[in-house]
A and B are shown apart, each in its own frame.
Chain A
Amino acid sequence: MEHMLSLFVRSIFADNMIFATFLGMCSYLAVSKNVKTSLGLGVAVTFVLLITLPVNYLLQVHVLDPLDLGYLSFILFIAVIAAIVQIVEMFVEKFSPSLYASLGIFLPLIAVNCAIMGASLFMQQRILLDAADPKAITGIGDAVMYALGSGLGWLLAIVALAGIREKMEYNDVPKPLQGLGITFIVVGLMAMAFMCFSGLKI
């Protein structure tokens, strides 16, 4: 239980998807122009992570490992992610049209978001860690917590950046630096701030 909690908090702050491992950077930079849409994307990413990561965990532990098919993991993971995104999209469209309308085009795009694939690949590495390591994923509960934490960390990062960019609209930035240049530097500064969490112990 303690291990799960620690894994959860670490994956939000110390191992933040954006600031520590740069996963999902493309959509992070493209969609962070205003808070509302970025919140929608953040929720969608968290949601998809929460489903795909445990499924990939079970496949890795119960199918790939016993059969020694580790080299197929890339193809299997990406197929699972693409299929689940499709199913989630149809499911949400059927049962919650309002959520579907607010997530809009983001859902299908998530299949190629590196945060989703990256989390599965990190999970694959973390299974091999010693159980005492705070980063280790030892069971399905840990996998769920890791997915939830990573998703929330991503959500936090994108909403924070969107807030800053909304304010920055009115600032006088040097012309060649406007738009993406300054966004990169802002994200760099945010990453520095997040480095303070790396010593976090629970």
Chain B
Amino acid sequence: MALSEKTREAFLGPLNKNNPVVVQILGICSALAVTVQLKPALVMGIAVTIIVALSNVVISALRNTIPNRIRIIVQLVVVAALVTLVSGILKAFAYDVSVALSVYIGLIITNCILMGRLEAYAMSNGPLDSLLDGLGNGFGYMWVLVVVAFVRELLGSGTLMGFRIIPESWYVANGGFYENCGMMVMPAMALILVGCVIWAHRSLNKEEVK
């Protein structure tokens, strides 16, 4: 299937040059809070991707019928309905992850990525482009979460997705030499790690200004 330049850009742009988290600084709250472990971060990334993509499609399909003055409320209601569905599905099929994510699933409603994409893209583009734009932004958000969570879980608890990576016998408690970095589990380190991701990203993309 041949995709036009604009359509390709809608999907690929947010992965790197236009990343919602490290370039546009949207959706930071949840990106920081759910990254202590890889599994909740991955689930959160998937949930946000699904919700952004679907709400983009719905709003884009409705864009010509929504009165301009009440559009924020309409957008919020569509997003809130989708979030309620996703939250219910998570509670039913992945209860432990849903507990780990606590209020942050509900907070997807006020995630700036959603409102930002709906306002900036879905209100003025067709459903197919909006779907790709939503998926691109969702994946862009997800990779940042996964990178941060990978570092935090590996260094903070020596596991990945709950599986032990650093052998038990290495730990000081078992006569070894290794100790987990307690700082990594603290909220403060999430901020510093995201700062470092932004730093690396900007060093690699020199042409970007501020």
User: How far is the CB of B47 from the nearest CB of chain A, in Å?
Assistant: 13
User: How far is the CB of B121 from the nearest CB of chain A, in Å?
Assistant: 16
Q: At the interface, yes or no: A24 with Cβ under 8 Å from chain B?
A: yes
Point out the residues of chain B lying under 8 angstroms from A25, CB to CB.
Answer: 28-29, 32
- A26–B84 CB distance below 8 A: no
- B202–A112 CB distance below 8 A: no
Chain B: how many interface residues by the 8 Å CB criterion? 43
Q: Is the interface of B mostly helix, strand, loop or mixed?
A: helix
Q: Show 16 A/B contacts (Cβ-Cβ < 8 Å), sorted by A.
A: A19-B187, A22-B29, A26-B25, A26-B28, A72-B84, A78-B109, A79-B73, A111-B72, A114-B29, A116-B110, A118-B107, A177-B202, A184-B191, A185-B191, A188-B191, A191-B188
Per-residue interface assignment for chain A, residues 1 to 35, with 1 indicating a CB less than 8 Å from any chain B CB and 0 otherwise: 00000000000000000011111111001100000
Known: A178-B210, A189-B188. A125 touches B103 (CB 8 A): yes
Q: In residues 156-201 of chain B, which contact A (Cβ within 8 Å)?
A: 186-192, 194-196, 198-200
Residue picked from A74, A116, A179, most chain B C-beta under 10 Å: A74
| B interface residues, Cβ below 8 angstroms from A | 25-30, 32-33, 72-73, 76-77, 80-81, 83-84, 87-88, 102-103, 106-107, 109-112, 115, 186-192, 194-196, 198-200, 202-203, 210
- B110–A20 CB distance below 8 A: no
Closest partner residue, chain B, to A194 (CB atom):
B188
- B187–A75 CB distance below 8 A: no
A67–B83 Cα distance when bound, in Å, is 21
Per-residue interface assignment for chain A, residues 75 to 103, with 1 indicating a CB less than 8 Å from any chain B CB and 0 otherwise: 10011001000000000000000000000
- A182–B106 CB distance below 8 A: no
- A79–B188 CB distance below 8 A: no
Known: A74-B109, A176-B203, A182-B195. A30 touches B29 (CB 8 A): no
A136–B103 Cα distance when bound, in Å, is 16
Known: A117-B109, A179-B210, A191-B188. A22 touches B72 (CB 8 A): no
Q: At the interface, yes or no: A181 with Cβ under 8 Å from chain B?
A: yes
Closest partner residue, chain B, to A26 (CB atom):
B112
- A192–B25 CB distance below 8 A: no
Q: At the interface, yes or no: A160 with Cβ under 8 Å from chain B?
A: no
- A75–B111 CB distance below 8 A: no
User: How far is the CB of A188 from the nearest CB of chain B, in Å?
Assistant: 4
> Nearest 10 pairs between A and B by C-beta?
A184-B195, A188-B191, A188-B192, A176-B202, A191-B188, A121-B103, A25-B28, A185-B195, A176-B203, A192-B188
A23–B110 Cα distance when bound, in Å, is 10
Point out the residues of chain B lying under 8 angstroms from A24, CB to CB.
Answer: 29
Point out the residues of chain B lying under 8 angstroms from A117, CB to CB.
Answer: 106-107, 109-110
Point out the residues of chain A lying under 8 angstroms from B77, CB to CB.
Answer: 75, 78-79
Q: At the interface, yes or no: A71 with Cβ under 8 Å from chain B?
A: yes
- A184–B80 CB distance below 8 A: no
Q: In residues 115-153 of chain A, which contact B (Cβ within 8 Å)?
A: 116-118, 121-122, 124-125
Q: At the interface, yes or no: A43 with Cβ under 8 Å from chain B?
A: no
